[in-house]
Amino acid sequence: MTRIAIIAGSTRPNRKARTVADWVLEHAAQRSDADFELVDLADQGLPLLDEPMPPSLGEYTKEHTRAWAEKIASFDGFVFVTPEYNHSVPAAFKNAVDFLYAEWNNKAVGFVSYGSAGGTRAVEAWRLIAAEVQMADVRAQVFLPFSDDFAEDQSFEPSDGATGALGTLFDQLVAWSEALRTVREA
């Protein structure tokens, strides 16, 4: 069975990432075409990148890196749940991606983003980063602007359009994750 990680990509106190990731997982659980698992970046305990060798060599010396590598290697694809910080990606999330290399290769990724502009600029940055670690990003994405999908008190209230877009993202992500299996096995 295809395995997809839903990564809650913020570690900041009072973050929205976990709430949004839980919503993604709730909808993913209704599907039978893949197994979905929530991976909360806040639970991973990754420091700033502290490996002496480049990740592309795969010579991990730290236990936290080996555990992170094992976790990520077990998946065929990913949903990155990402806020937009200062027109880009959250530093802690980028750091987590930078720890590894081969574990991301030839796997599909889709994006659920949020922020004042729906997180669109973070996704633009993620697409460049994903290409460098040889991930295939799917076209479908879910943008959650604070003005549309969060109430004035900042509670998460996703629109019907966001929920519909999530279904399309899952369809493309599962298809690409399965197709890339042949590349990984070659």
DSSP string across 63-94: HHHHHHHHHHHT-SEEEEEEE-BTTB--HHHH
Average pLDDT over residues 60-77: 98
Q: Which of 18, 44, 180, 5 is nearest to 114 (CA)?
A: 18
Query: How confident is the model at residue 44, as a pLDDT?
Result: 97
Name the residue range of residue 45's domain.
3-185
DSSP state of 100: -
DSSP lists the bridge partners of residue 3 as: 35
Q: Give the pLDDT band (50/70/90) at residue 55.
A: very high
Average pLDDT over residues 91-107: 98
How far apart, in whole angstroms, are the C-alpha atoms of residue 125 and residue 70?
25
Distance between alpha carbon 130 and the CA centroid of its chain, in Å?
10
How far apart, in whole angstroms, are the C-alpha atoms of residue 135 and residue 143?
20
CATH of the domain at 157: 3.40.50.360
The total number of structural domains that make up the chain: 1
Query: How high is the mean pLDDT of the chain?
Result: 97
How far apart, in whole angstroms, are the C-alpha atoms of residue 24 and residue 5?
11
Tokens 């839980």 belong to 22
Q: Give the pLDDT band (50/70/90) at residue 154.
A: confident
How far apart, in whole angstroms, are the C-alpha atoms of residue 55 and residue 69?
10
DSSP lists the bridge partners of residue 40 as: 8
Classify burial at 156, counting beta carbons within 10 Å of its beta carbon; exposed 0-12, middle 13-18, buried 19 or more: middle
The CA-CA-CA angle for residues 173, 179, 181, to 5°, reads: 105
Q: Which tens digits make up the pLDDT trace of 3-53?
A: 999 999 999 999 999 999 999 999 999 999 999 999 999 999 999 999 999
